[in-house]
Amino acid sequence: MRSKNLVRSALLVAILALAYYTYTQIVTSGSSSLTFVADSVVFKRGCLHPDSSCFRVVYRFPVPVGKGSSRIKKLIVNDFVGNMDEDVDRKDFAHLKDMLVRNAMSYDSSFVEYLKQFGTGVEWYIDVDFTQIFSTNQLITFRYEQSSYTGGAHDMYGYHYLNIDLKKSKILKLPDLFADMDRFKAIAQKAFTEQFMNNPADDAEYWLADDGSLVLPNEFGLTNKGLLLHYNVYEIACFARGDIELLIPYADLKEILVDKYLDELSGL
Protein backbone atom coordinates (compact mmCIF):
# COMPACT_ATOMS: atom_id res chain seq x y z
CA MET A 1 0.00 0.00 0.00
CA ARG A 2 2.80 2.33 0.93
CA SER A 3 4.59 1.69 -2.35
CA LYS A 4 1.41 2.45 -4.29
CA ASN A 5 1.06 5.76 -2.43
CA LEU A 6 4.65 6.60 -3.26
CA VAL A 7 4.02 5.86 -6.94
CA ARG A 8 0.87 7.98 -6.91
CA SER A 9 2.72 10.81 -5.17
CA ALA A 10 5.57 10.64 -7.64
CA LEU A 11 3.12 10.59 -10.54
CA LEU A 12 1.25 13.59 -9.12
CA VAL A 13 4.50 15.52 -8.71
CA ALA A 14 5.45 14.65 -12.28
CA ILE A 15 2.08 15.85 -13.58
CA LEU A 16 2.31 19.09 -11.60
CA ALA A 17 5.87 19.62 -12.79
CA LEU A 18 4.83 19.06 -16.41
CA ALA A 19 1.86 21.41 -16.02
CA TYR A 20 4.08 24.10 -14.47
CA TYR A 21 6.68 23.69 -17.22
CA THR A 22 3.99 23.97 -19.91
CA TYR A 23 2.50 27.06 -18.23
CA THR A 24 5.87 28.81 -17.92
CA GLN A 25 6.70 28.04 -21.55
CA ILE A 26 3.39 29.50 -22.73
CA VAL A 27 3.77 32.60 -20.57
CA THR A 28 7.42 33.10 -21.52
CA SER A 29 6.88 32.65 -25.23
CA GLY A 30 3.86 34.93 -25.14
CA SER A 31 5.58 37.74 -23.27
CA SER A 32 8.78 37.54 -25.28
CA SER A 33 7.08 38.00 -28.66
CA LEU A 34 6.83 41.64 -29.65
CA THR A 35 3.72 42.58 -31.59
CA PHE A 36 2.31 45.85 -32.85
CA VAL A 37 -1.20 47.26 -32.70
CA ALA A 38 -2.60 50.43 -34.23
CA ASP A 39 -3.64 53.49 -32.27
CA SER A 40 -4.86 56.85 -33.53
CA VAL A 41 -5.95 60.41 -32.85
CA VAL A 42 -9.02 61.57 -34.80
CA PHE A 43 -10.50 65.07 -35.02
CA LYS A 44 -13.43 66.35 -37.11
CA ARG A 45 -15.28 69.62 -37.65
CA GLY A 46 -18.35 69.71 -39.84
CA CYS A 47 -18.32 66.79 -42.33
CA LEU A 48 -22.07 66.30 -41.79
CA HIS A 49 -22.92 65.69 -45.46
CA PRO A 50 -21.02 65.61 -48.79
CA ASP A 51 -21.45 69.33 -49.48
CA SER A 52 -20.75 70.61 -45.99
CA SER A 53 -17.58 72.30 -44.83
CA CYS A 54 -15.30 69.65 -43.44
CA PHE A 55 -12.03 69.47 -41.58
CA ARG A 56 -10.78 66.04 -40.55
CA VAL A 57 -7.53 64.87 -39.02
CA VAL A 58 -6.46 61.25 -38.61
CA TYR A 59 -3.09 60.39 -37.13
CA ARG A 60 -2.46 56.63 -36.97
CA PHE A 61 0.68 55.02 -35.55
CA PRO A 62 2.00 51.61 -34.40
CA VAL A 63 2.21 50.72 -30.70
CA PRO A 64 4.46 47.82 -29.62
CA VAL A 65 3.17 45.25 -27.14
CA GLY A 66 5.22 42.63 -25.34
CA LYS A 67 8.66 42.13 -23.87
CA GLY A 68 11.05 44.97 -24.71
CA SER A 69 8.25 47.19 -25.96
CA SER A 70 9.15 50.15 -23.71
CA ARG A 71 12.37 50.88 -25.60
CA ILE A 72 10.68 50.51 -28.99
CA LYS A 73 7.88 52.84 -27.86
CA LYS A 74 10.40 55.61 -27.25
CA LEU A 75 11.85 55.15 -30.73
CA ILE A 76 8.44 55.37 -32.38
CA VAL A 77 7.40 58.44 -30.40
CA ASN A 78 10.73 60.23 -30.95
CA ASP A 79 10.52 59.50 -34.67
CA PHE A 80 6.91 60.68 -34.98
CA VAL A 81 7.52 63.86 -32.99
CA GLY A 82 10.71 64.63 -34.87
CA ASN A 83 9.02 64.36 -38.25
CA MET A 84 6.41 66.87 -37.16
CA ASP A 85 9.08 69.35 -36.01
CA GLU A 86 7.49 69.34 -32.58
CA ASP A 87 8.88 68.85 -29.10
CA VAL A 88 7.48 67.13 -26.04
CA ASP A 89 9.09 66.78 -22.64
CA ARG A 90 8.14 63.14 -22.10
CA LYS A 91 8.49 60.66 -24.93
CA ASP A 92 5.48 58.40 -24.36
CA PHE A 93 2.27 57.77 -26.27
CA ALA A 94 0.09 59.76 -23.87
CA HIS A 95 2.13 62.89 -24.53
CA LEU A 96 2.30 62.10 -28.24
CA LYS A 97 -1.50 62.07 -28.33
CA ASP A 98 -1.67 65.35 -26.42
CA MET A 99 0.70 66.90 -28.96
CA LEU A 100 -1.37 65.60 -31.89
CA VAL A 101 -4.58 66.99 -30.37
CA ARG A 102 -2.94 70.42 -29.94
CA ASN A 103 -1.67 70.20 -33.51
CA ALA A 104 -5.16 69.41 -34.82
CA MET A 105 -6.66 72.28 -32.82
CA SER A 106 -4.15 74.75 -34.25
CA TYR A 107 -5.15 73.76 -37.78
CA ASP A 108 -8.81 73.96 -36.76
CA SER A 109 -8.37 77.62 -35.83
CA SER A 110 -6.86 78.28 -39.24
CA PHE A 111 -9.73 76.42 -40.89
CA VAL A 112 -12.32 78.58 -39.13
CA GLU A 113 -10.54 81.73 -40.32
CA TYR A 114 -10.36 80.28 -43.85
CA LEU A 115 -14.14 79.71 -43.84
CA LYS A 116 -14.76 83.32 -42.81
CA GLN A 117 -12.75 84.50 -45.79
CA PHE A 118 -13.75 82.03 -48.51
CA GLY A 119 -17.16 80.74 -47.43
CA THR A 120 -18.57 77.27 -46.87
CA GLY A 121 -18.26 74.02 -48.77
CA VAL A 122 -14.51 73.80 -48.13
CA GLU A 123 -12.70 70.56 -47.23
CA TRP A 124 -9.42 70.41 -45.35
CA TYR A 125 -7.83 67.16 -44.24
CA ILE A 126 -4.70 65.63 -42.76
CA ASP A 127 -4.30 61.86 -42.98
CA VAL A 128 -1.27 60.02 -41.59
CA ASP A 129 -1.41 56.24 -41.76
CA PHE A 130 1.16 53.46 -41.50
CA THR A 131 1.81 50.02 -42.96
CA GLN A 132 4.22 47.36 -41.76
CA ILE A 133 6.06 46.46 -44.97
CA PHE A 134 8.93 44.29 -43.69
CA SER A 135 9.66 42.09 -40.70
CA THR A 136 12.26 39.52 -39.59
CA ASN A 137 13.37 38.34 -36.16
CA GLN A 138 15.64 41.35 -35.87
CA LEU A 139 14.37 43.98 -38.29
CA ILE A 140 11.08 45.73 -38.94
CA THR A 141 10.06 48.55 -41.27
CA PHE A 142 7.01 50.78 -41.10
CA ARG A 143 5.98 53.10 -43.91
CA TYR A 144 3.98 56.21 -43.06
CA GLU A 145 1.90 57.81 -45.79
CA GLN A 146 0.74 61.37 -45.30
CA SER A 147 -1.74 63.26 -47.44
CA SER A 148 -3.13 66.69 -46.68
CA TYR A 149 -4.87 69.75 -47.97
CA THR A 150 -4.92 72.89 -45.84
CA GLY A 151 -5.43 75.51 -48.52
CA GLY A 152 -3.25 76.36 -51.49
CA ALA A 153 -3.01 75.29 -55.12
CA HIS A 154 -3.11 71.52 -54.55
CA ASP A 155 -2.95 68.82 -51.94
CA MET A 156 0.33 67.34 -50.71
CA TYR A 157 1.48 63.84 -49.96
CA GLY A 158 4.64 62.16 -48.77
CA TYR A 159 6.19 59.02 -47.33
CA HIS A 160 8.34 58.33 -44.31
CA TYR A 161 10.06 55.05 -43.38
CA LEU A 162 10.92 53.85 -39.91
CA ASN A 163 13.48 51.03 -39.96
CA ILE A 164 14.18 49.47 -36.55
CA ASP A 165 16.70 46.97 -35.25
CA LEU A 166 14.50 45.31 -32.62
CA LYS A 167 17.37 43.60 -30.79
CA LYS A 168 19.44 46.76 -30.52
CA SER A 169 16.39 49.04 -30.04
CA LYS A 170 17.81 51.36 -32.67
CA ILE A 171 16.52 53.31 -35.66
CA LEU A 172 18.60 52.33 -38.67
CA LYS A 173 20.33 54.73 -41.02
CA LEU A 174 21.96 53.73 -44.30
CA PRO A 175 25.52 53.67 -42.83
CA ASP A 176 24.27 51.14 -40.25
CA LEU A 177 23.52 48.69 -43.08
CA PHE A 178 26.52 49.08 -45.37
CA ALA A 179 30.22 48.72 -44.70
CA ASP A 180 31.21 50.88 -47.66
CA MET A 181 28.98 53.89 -48.36
CA ASP A 182 31.00 54.98 -51.38
CA ARG A 183 30.33 51.64 -53.07
CA PHE A 184 26.69 51.85 -52.04
CA LYS A 185 26.32 55.26 -53.68
CA ALA A 186 27.94 53.92 -56.86
CA ILE A 187 25.53 50.96 -56.94
CA ALA A 188 22.57 53.26 -56.30
CA GLN A 189 23.61 55.68 -59.05
CA LYS A 190 24.00 52.83 -61.54
CA ALA A 191 20.53 51.54 -60.66
CA PHE A 192 19.04 55.04 -60.85
CA THR A 193 20.57 55.67 -64.27
CA GLU A 194 19.32 52.33 -65.62
CA GLN A 195 15.80 52.69 -64.24
CA PHE A 196 15.17 56.38 -64.91
CA MET A 197 17.72 58.55 -66.66
CA ASN A 198 18.10 56.26 -69.69
CA ASN A 199 14.35 55.85 -70.12
CA PRO A 200 13.17 57.95 -73.11
CA ALA A 201 9.58 57.74 -71.88
CA ASP A 202 10.55 59.56 -68.70
CA ASP A 203 11.17 63.15 -69.73
CA ALA A 204 11.43 64.62 -66.23
CA GLU A 205 14.52 66.57 -65.26
CA TYR A 206 16.43 65.16 -62.33
CA TRP A 207 18.55 67.09 -59.91
CA LEU A 208 22.01 65.69 -59.24
CA ALA A 209 24.82 67.06 -57.14
CA ASP A 210 27.11 69.65 -58.70
CA ASP A 211 29.66 66.94 -59.46
CA GLY A 212 27.05 64.84 -61.29
CA SER A 213 26.73 62.26 -58.54
CA LEU A 214 23.42 60.93 -57.25
CA VAL A 215 21.84 62.67 -54.28
CA LEU A 216 20.54 60.00 -51.91
CA PRO A 217 16.94 60.46 -50.73
CA ASN A 218 15.89 61.36 -47.23
CA GLU A 219 13.79 58.20 -47.03
CA PHE A 220 14.58 54.52 -47.46
CA GLY A 221 12.91 51.29 -46.42
CA LEU A 222 13.62 47.58 -46.16
CA THR A 223 11.29 45.41 -48.24
CA ASN A 224 11.08 41.72 -49.12
CA LYS A 225 12.36 42.48 -52.64
CA GLY A 226 15.24 44.79 -51.82
CA LEU A 227 16.26 48.16 -50.44
CA LEU A 228 13.83 50.88 -51.47
CA LEU A 229 15.12 54.43 -51.94
CA HIS A 230 12.12 56.75 -51.95
CA TYR A 231 12.29 60.33 -53.20
CA ASN A 232 9.30 62.38 -52.09
CA VAL A 233 7.66 64.96 -54.35
CA TYR A 234 9.83 68.02 -55.01
CA GLU A 235 12.90 66.22 -53.66
CA ILE A 236 14.61 65.70 -57.04
CA ALA A 237 11.88 66.48 -59.56
CA CYS A 238 8.82 68.64 -60.09
CA PHE A 239 5.48 67.94 -58.39
CA ALA A 240 3.94 66.69 -61.64
CA ARG A 241 6.54 63.89 -61.80
CA GLY A 242 5.43 62.68 -58.38
CA ASP A 243 7.45 60.63 -55.94
CA ILE A 244 10.17 58.32 -57.25
CA GLU A 245 10.92 54.83 -55.95
CA LEU A 246 14.26 53.16 -56.67
CA LEU A 247 14.39 49.46 -55.71
CA ILE A 248 17.82 47.82 -55.39
CA PRO A 249 17.84 44.01 -54.94
CA TYR A 250 19.77 42.76 -51.91
CA ALA A 251 21.79 40.54 -54.26
CA ASP A 252 23.37 43.70 -55.70
CA LEU A 253 24.25 44.87 -52.18
CA LYS A 254 25.37 41.56 -50.68
CA GLU A 255 29.11 42.33 -50.73
CA ILE A 256 28.75 45.53 -48.71
CA LEU A 257 26.03 44.57 -46.21
CA VAL A 258 27.36 44.57 -42.65
CA ASP A 259 27.78 41.09 -41.19
CA LYS A 260 25.00 41.26 -38.58
CA TYR A 261 22.34 41.89 -41.25
CA LEU A 262 23.84 39.78 -44.02
CA ASP A 263 21.98 36.54 -43.29
CA GLU A 264 18.60 38.20 -42.85
CA LEU A 265 18.76 40.31 -46.00
CA SER A 266 20.99 38.54 -48.51
CA GLY A 267 18.79 35.44 -48.62
CA LEU A 268 15.68 37.35 -49.70
**Same domain, yes or no, for 42 and 126?**
yes
**At 16, is the secondary structure helix, strand, or coil?**
helix
**Same domain, yes or no, for 180 and 131?**
no
pLDDT higher than 50, residue 267:
yes
Last residue of one domain, picked from the residues 115, 143, 172: 172
**Same domain, yes or no, for 245 and 219?**
yes
**Same domain, yes or no, for 45 and 153?**
yes
Last residue of one domain, picked from the residues 172, 202, 234: 172
pLDDT score for 195: 86
Last residue of one domain, picked from the residues 145, 172, 199: 172
Query: Rounded CA gap, 200 and 206, in Å?
Result: 13
**Same domain, yes or no, for 251 and 201?**
yes
pLDDT score for 33: 82
* Number of domains the chain contains: 3
**Same domain, yes or no, for 206 and 257?**
yes
CATH of the domain at 186: 3.90.640.20
The string of pLDDT tens digits covering residues 65-89 is: 998 899 999 999 999 998 887 766 6
The string of pLDDT tens digits covering residues 207-261 is: 677 777 889 999 999 999 999 999 999 898 888 888 999 999 999 999 999 999 9
Burial degree of 248 (CB within 10 A; 0-12, 13-18, 19+): buried
**Same domain, yes or no, for 27 and 7?**
yes
pTM (two decimals) = 0.83
pLDDT score for 210: 75
pLDDT score for 75: 94
pLDDT higher than 80, residue 170:
yes
**Same domain, yes or no, for 215 and 162?**
no
Phi, psi of 40 (to 5 degrees): -160, 165
**Closest C-alpha to 72, from 48, 92, 86:** 92
Query: Within the chain, what is the greatest distance between any pair of CA atoms?
Result: 97
**At 140, is the secondary structure helix, strand, or coil?**
strand
- Give the model's confidence band at 204: pLDDT under 50 very low, under 70 low, under 90 confident, else very high: low
Asked if residue 134 lies in contact with residue 224, where contact means CB atoms within 8 angstroms, the answer is yes
**Same domain, yes or no, for 61 and 74?**
yes
**Same domain, yes or no, for 222 and 196?**
yes
Residue-number span of the structural domain to which 26 is assigned:
1-32
**Same domain, yes or no, for 90 and 198?**
no
Query: Rounded CA gap, 51 and 216, in Å?
Result: 43
**Same domain, yes or no, for 256 and 143?**
no
Residue at 265: amino acid letter: L
CATH of the domain at 82: 3.30.565.40
Among the ranges 7-11, 22-26, 111-115, which has the highest mean pLDDT value? 111-115
